[in-house]
Amino acid sequence: MTAAPHVPDVLRVRCHYCSRFRSRSEVLRIGTGGAIMCWHCYEWHRKALQALAGAPPAGCQECGKSGRQMVEDADGAGNVRFFLHQKDGIYQILCKACSDAYERRRLDLYGDTLYGWWKKLKGAN
């Protein structure tokens, strides 16, 4: 008797935050609007909220730099530089390089603000 052939998990859903397709067991539904978030995005969002409460940052969600690497990149006064953005509908912690790249891509959000004006002015020097 032969074993049954492996059937791939064809019932996959797209996470509305990272746009990756996940198995139905790897996602949770948020609210009544039908939003779907994978556990990976949920964990990063939770870690960002913990950082807002005073916990050390877990790392950069974009490039994967660990929290320890971010601490090693601290300035001379021991300040750890991380940037919190509401990106893709959830809070995300980004390192300086990833934050700068995200801000350049999202001039539609930052361009007409005082912060966007300051960034342009600072970049011109």
In a domain, 109, yes or no: yes
8 pLDDT band, cuts 50/70/90, is low
Q: What is the pLDDT of residues 97-107, one digit of tens each?
A: 898 888 877 77
125 pLDDT band, cuts 50/70/90, is very low
Number of domains, the chain: 1
Look up the pTM and report it.
0.62
Q: Which of 119, 75, 113 is nearest to 100 (CA)?
A: 119
In a domain, 112, yes or no: yes
In a domain, 7, yes or no: no
The confidence score (pLDDT) of residue 91 equals: 85
**70 CB-near residues (< 8 Å, 6+ apart):** 57, 59, 60, 80, 81, 82, 95
In a domain, 99, yes or no: yes
The confidence score (pLDDT) of residue 9 equals: 54
Mean pLDDT of the chain: 79
In a domain, 3, yes or no: no
Residues of the domain holding 95: 12-124
